[in-house]
Amino acid sequence: MVKACIAAALFGLVVLPAAAQMPVGPPAPGPGAGPDQETRRDVAQLYLVQRMREALALTDAQTLKVMDLLQQIDQARMDHQAAIRSLASSLQAQLDDPKTADSAFNESVESFRKGQEEFERQMRGLESRLLAVMTPRQQVQFLLLRRQLLMQGREGMRGAGDDGRPGRRRR
């Protein structure tokens, strides 16, 4: 219990101020993702866990399970993004080659579809495992929190102009 209190205090003093300055949600790593992006992703993930802990009143045991599952979700997303980048390169090479047969295009489209379906299946499974950690009330609170965070993320993406200033909200 003492370790949990120390960890919570350390988290509150070190991580939360940094996370408050970050956009909601982990950034997608690019081909040259470096330690800075990994750190930002880790901080964003800790921020999300803290928001969930507060909004859902998670216990310490639930919090540990949620952290583990969020890491698995993040890893699955990164793996999927890497696969999509690789496939996009291959697709572009096929398009650039005038000798590519229609059958090759069909195979590529089918491969893309299967990869997408597998990713979606994996995400549904991980989300089911995440929800299973929570009480029914917490599950509803989680769904509302997720919606709120997604809306904030969309507003943040829509709101920044070229000059870095917030944009106008659409009405």
Residue-level pLDDT at 157: 74
Mean pLDDT (whole number) for 27-55: 78
Model pTM?
0.66
- Answer yes or no: is pLDDT of 8 > 50: no
How high is the pLDDT of residue 92? 93
List the domain boundaries for the chain. 57-140
**pLDDT tens digit string along 121-170?**
999 999 999 999 999 999 999 999 999 988 988 887 776 554 444 554 44
Do the beta carbons of residue 69 and residue 49 sit within 8 Å?
A: no
pLDDT in tens, 91-127: 999 999 999 999 999 999 999 999 999 999 999 999 9
